[in-house]
Chain A
Amino acid sequence: MNIAVCIKRVPDSETRVKIASDGKSLDAAGVKFVMNPYDEFAVEEALRRKEKAGAGEVAVLCLGPAAAQETIRTALAMGADRGVLLQADKIPADPFEVAKVIAAELKSTSWDLILFGRMAIDDYNHQVGPLVAELLGLPCVTAVSHLEIEGSKGVAEREIEGGIEVVEFPLPALLTVDKGLNEPRYPALKGIMAAKKKPLEVKPVQVGGGSLDVVALTPPPERKEGRIVGEGAGAVPELIRVLREEAKVL
């Protein structure tokens, strides 16, 4: 089974966001970058599918700056076979431009499965996976939290508001995966050593500017300073009062 996993290098979720001097982007100084957490589920799922099939290849694809080689190496250390970095220093805000570059690279190989994380925790788009599916003309299931594959047919579960949708799809297909699908493995020392020798191809790419022009990046609106209404169960009547009279939410 040949599987492509598309991953992204993002700031760690514990990052405190500082705005850069251009007023439009993140100040990356001192920020720790990691593999997008949802992409870890995608890498893990690809490895398990390949192990189960007993043959095939797991290729990892990443659009990002030169430093994203490190992110690809993490996936290689988990067990992926090879990596491709589509190198660009600036990633536009428009997910369609990102999707075009990734689709162009994926087109040259025939994949049984293409996996993405459900979303990236930096730009929160949830869009690149389905955009790529549309560009490649592939069936697509988003936010997959349970997956069964038999031969060239798959059954997936995805969370929708207030329930779980069960869908059937033919392979090849593109899936975006959610937390809960599996438990990603930690790269073992042996894997980390092996990853250094695995092929990692770097291809410079031109990414278009797209149709979303970032005007500003600003801190979220400050919340008004709150207060402690009291201690213990005795404070509950006062809490109820302020929620009704001040906040007017009850």
Chain B
Amino acid sequence: MSKVLAVLEQRDGTLRKVSFEVVTAARRLSSEVDAVVCSSPGAEGCATAVAERAKSGGYGAVVFAATATGRDLAPRVAAKLGVGVAADVTDLTVEGDAIVATRPVYAGKAMQKVRVLSKPAVVSVRPNVFTPDAQASQVKPETLSVASPGRVVVREIKAAPAGMLDVAEAQIIISGGRGLKDPANFKVLEELAKAFGGRAAVGASRAVVDAGWRAHADQVGQTGKTVSPSLYIAVGISGAIQHLAGMRTAKVIVAINKDKDAPIFKVADYGVVGDLFEIVPKLTEEIRKLHG
């Protein structure tokens, strides 16, 4: 395959982890990867700069991250290039001279394999799927200067409270459901998350988000976020089909539930049956020892 353009993301001047995943995915397609990053946020201006670069460079593919930014940017660039987007891809291969992308659909209840026939192919890759290789972290992207920020102006970014990771990007997720019984009880999950030393986020089932216990940003499932952490701990979640769809691509799933017949145990690698208010604090204590 000819050259591939990898479009990276930065915040406060630092490349985000997902950028290295984008480079890694791009390398699957070609040994020749040009990495670029926009000089300022705002999808409108950035899309113009990336599209101009993509047109001039003779690229076979343009790869984005399927993040809030990338999901906004990729379609604008694609429309400027007059092509479609293979969005939220979890696997990429080259077959003949075409790119074949695998995308989870129906929130991961099925996998759709598509041949991308456009030149260039525009692809966005789901975070946490393409494990960055050592080489990827050495990438030195070229900064594309954004001529005009566009009509939509970023006024402010309100950062999440310090130490709070986004569930879509966290390596470890501890999710709670109705079994927590009260919104205040999520504290036990937050304590466990903290014990992992900044690598874990707290997620939630639809039931508790709909009840107003947790923010929608934390919801895992078909009408929330589809996540692929290395470890997913489901606490007091029975395992509705729409929830299972959102987390079944986690590498390892642990379920803690008092009902031994709960559907969550069908997808869990490891289950513990019993009272979460006894089990989780004990788990927190043990994890603290490991990281102590």
Contacts and interface: CB of A to CB of B under 8 A. Distances in A.
B71 A142 contact: yes
B254 to A, nearest CB: 7
Interface string A122-145: 111111111101110001111101
Contacts of A155: 155
Nearest to A36: B223
Contacts of A180: 215-217
A17 B151 contact: no
Interface in B43-97: 43-44, 47, 66-69, 71-72, 74-76, 78-80, 83-88
Contacts, number: 287
Interface stretch (A48-56, A70-78, A194-202, A237-245): A237-245
B272 A162 contact: no
Interface residues of B, number: 101
B252 A249 contact: yes
A184 to B, nearest CB: 12
Interface stretch (A83-91, A106-114, A164-172): A164-172
B267 A233 contact: no
Interface residues of A, number: 86
A209 B275 CA distance: 53
Contacts of B211: none
Nearest to A92: B84
Interface string B189-222: 0000000000000000000010000011101011
B187 interface: no
B79 A220 contact: no
Interface of B is mostly: mixed
B147 interface: no
A217 B112 contact: yes
A11 interface: yes
B114 A143 contact: no
B40 interface: no
A131 B75 contact: yes
A220 B223 contact: no
B252 A123 contact: no
A226 B260 contact: no
B170 to A, nearest CB: 10
Interface stretch (B23-31, B102-110, B136-144): B102-110
Interface of A is mostly: mixed
A87 to B, nearest CB: 22
A161 B168 contact: yes
Contacts of A236: 272, 279, 282-283, 286
A128 B85 CA distance: 10
A223 B269 contact: yes
A219 B108 CA distance: 9
Given A19-B110, A145-B216, A163-B157, A231 B272 contact: yes
Interface in A157-207: 158-170, 173, 178-180
B241 A220 contact: no
Contacts of A143: 68, 71-72
Given A17-B110, A121-B223, A139-B150, A233 B157 contact: no
A93 interface: yes
B282 A233 contact: yes
Contacts of B87: 95, 124-127
Given A124-B103, A164-B157, A140 B152 contact: yes
A229 B157 contact: no
B270 A220 contact: no
Contacts of A226: 253, 265, 267-271
A250 B183 CA distance: 28
Nearest to B17: A161
B223 A37 contact: yes
A232 to B, nearest CB: 4
Interface of A: 11, 13-17, 19, 26, 37-38, 93-97, 99, 121-131, 133-135, 139-143, 145, 155, 158-170, 173, 178-180, 210-221, 223-224, 226-233, 235-237, 239-240, 242-243, 247, 249-250
The list of the 10 closest CB pairs from A to B, nearest first, reads A134-B79, A211-B118, A96-B84, A94-B84, A232-B274, A17-B109, A139-B151, A130-B75, A233-B282, A180-B216
Given A126-B75, A219-B109, 8 more contacts: A125-B88, A161-B18, A169-B153, A211-B83, A220-B108, A233-B281, A247-B231, A250-B231
9 contacts: A16-B241, A93-B112, A124-B104, A161-B169, A163-B158, A169-B151, A218-B111, A233-B274, A239-B283
